[in-house]
Amino acid sequence: MEVLKKLKLLLWKNFILKRRKTLITLLEMLMPLLFCAIVLYLRLNSMPRKKSSTNYPAVDVSLLPVYFYNYPLKSKFQLAYIPSKSETLKAVTEVVEQTFAVDFEVLGFPSVPLFEDYIIKDPKSFYILVGIIFHHDFNSSNEP
């Protein structure tokens, strides 16, 4: 019961303070309404912009970009693959190397951390064009 009396007293005090400052009370009630009206007005009167779709030309992925053929150090490009233990994966990367007219140096790494160390620490890693990580469950290097 004591809590209700305190609440009633607090509400009465708030009412008296609001009644003394009529202009501020009126502004406190009208400002949110004014801002809502401004936002609604701007939203209703703004015109949506229609953008036409952009069509890009097809990219031929069977060839390397032109600048690779004109690059002065094109014989330094490297193709890295992980893991290096599988003969099948080595054969796949060699076929990829032969597909393009640019000479690649094919590098095999036994694990991802060793490849990351090579990328971070070795200055020759600047020439790595692509790195391929194969996830497989082969137990032997002879398995397909």
Catalogue the E-assigned strands of 22-94: 78-82
Candidates 37, 92, 53; CA nearest to 130 is 92
Give the per-residue pLDDT at 30: 93
Query: Strand locations in 1-144, DSSP E?
Result: 78-82, 105-108, 128-133
Give me the tens of pLDDT residue by residue for the chain, a chain 144 residues long. Answer: 899 999 999 999 988 888 888 888 888 889 999 999 999 999 988 888 888 889 999 877 777 677 766 766 656 778 787 876 777 777 777 777 777 766 777 788 888 888 889 889 888 888 787 788 877 666 555 555
In angstroms, the Cα distances linking 45 to 40, 42, 60 are: 8, 5, 46
End-to-end CA gap in the chain: 83
Domain ranges of the chain: 2-44, 73-133
In this structure, what token pair is assigned to residue 139?
């137990």
